[in-house]
Amino acid sequence: MDRFIIHGGHPLRGDIVIGGAKNSALKLLVAGLLTPEKLVLDNVPRIADIRTMRRLLEQHGLTVEDISGDGGTLSIGGEITNTEAPYNIVSKMRASILVLGPLLARCGEARVSLPGGCAIGTRPVDLHLKALETLGAKITLENGYIHAEAPNGLKGERVILPFASVGATENLLMAATLARGRTEIVNAAREPEIGDLVGCLNAMGARITGIGTGKLVIDGVEGLHGARYRVMPDRIECGTYACAAAITGGELRLVGGQVEHLGAVVRALEEAGVEMVQEEGAVRVQRTGALRGVDIMTEPYPGFPTDMQAQFMALLSVAEGASMVTETIFENRFMHVPELNRMGARINVHGSSAIIRGVHSLSGAPVMATDLRASFSLIIAGLAAHGETILSRVYHLDRGYEAVERKLAQCGAHIERVSD
């Protein structure tokens, strides 16, 4: 099992290339189930979750080829020969549930294991199932599997989501592209990754309008064709490295990053004393003075993303004054707090809120990653801490971030990966 050894106190300076968005690329790969023709995706991140999704698609019968030689461009195509998504793959990654809609729409049936992923909350799939039932699917749960049938195909309807679920929006969106008639998704999620999925589906021949709004309208078509599409840059990776630049007092150019995708993250960073400037092809990040405490609440886009909460908390742990972070999306997403406190942070959790009283400095310590984003929060803390930080269980990190130690080291961080 790999670990990171970090010696803090070194400002980050230089360029870091922001890769393709994990939360977009996974869904675009799944979209390959909707057509027998080839879908070619550029700017695919080279991370563990992508490899897991490739295995899942291949066991459905598709061929996934690396046509770039380095994993950055993938071609997906072929006929579906198996409509079951097994537990041994789905349990590794929650995004696997998204094969349900495309398999159902294309083949009229699907058997998908209930999903896994990071242990940050229950994240029920009932919204996915109720939405697909509205389109005419018959769904039963047995032995840990979702069994869905639509032998006569799906039929477009108006679906009102009780809250703006990203996963339910995506599953319904893909299924509706091949449904008969018009589907309306009301209270749809508005994340930029939703817009990226719509862009790819439309390039494949879908008829979808309403990008960036809470109402998506899908006019079903008989079939989709192949296309070539480029995955958007990862806004969470961009925000994560922005926090790393700020906590170390350095200056980074985040190449490929887009300020417009970051929403409330930019406003929170500016309030904390961090400047983010969009330049041609990059975002420049630097501190404007001492870090200041701020209050944030995680919300659906364009609110503050739950996927940035842990990283921002690490930054606030050394900010002047007190801060409060309220988590409204996942109930178990404060598991990094005890680890940050081991490094000298002063954080107290009260229900869904954490009170952070900024300290002058952190101290290196052995810490353990508990989930994907928490992993990087501990790296951020380690970059600013005095002494040595040893981060264990970095396999969580490898699920969603590419070449972390290389990107940080080339900008002055003292970080190395070691294997037991």
Binding site residue list for UDP-N-acetyl-alpha-D-glucosamine: 94, 123-127, 307, 329
Tokens of 47: 């991370």
HEC readout, 98-129: HHHHHHHHHHCEEEEECCCCCCCCCCCCHHHH
Please give the radius of gyration of the chain, using alpha carbons only, rounded to the nearest integer: 21
Q: How far is CA 227 from the centre of its chain?
A: 23
118 is catalytic: yes
CB-based contact 41:29 (threshold 8 Å): yes
As a whole number of angstroms, the distance between CA 220 and CA 208 comes to: 9
Q: Which of 107, 118, 238, 243 is catalytic?
A: 118
Tokens of 287: 């501190």
Angle between helices 192-203 and 166-176 (to 10 degrees): 10
Q: For 255-309, give the DSSP string.
A: ET--GGGTTHHHHHHHHTTEEEEEETTEEEEEE-SS-B--EEEB-STTSB-GGGH
Q: Which residues are annotated as a binding site for phosphoenolpyruvate?
A: 22-23
Closest CA to 60 of 121, 107, 15: 107
Beta bridge partners of 219: 182, 207
As a whole number of angstroms, the distance between CA 226 and CA 76 comes to: 9
Residue 67 DSSP SS3: coil
Residues classed as catalytic: 118
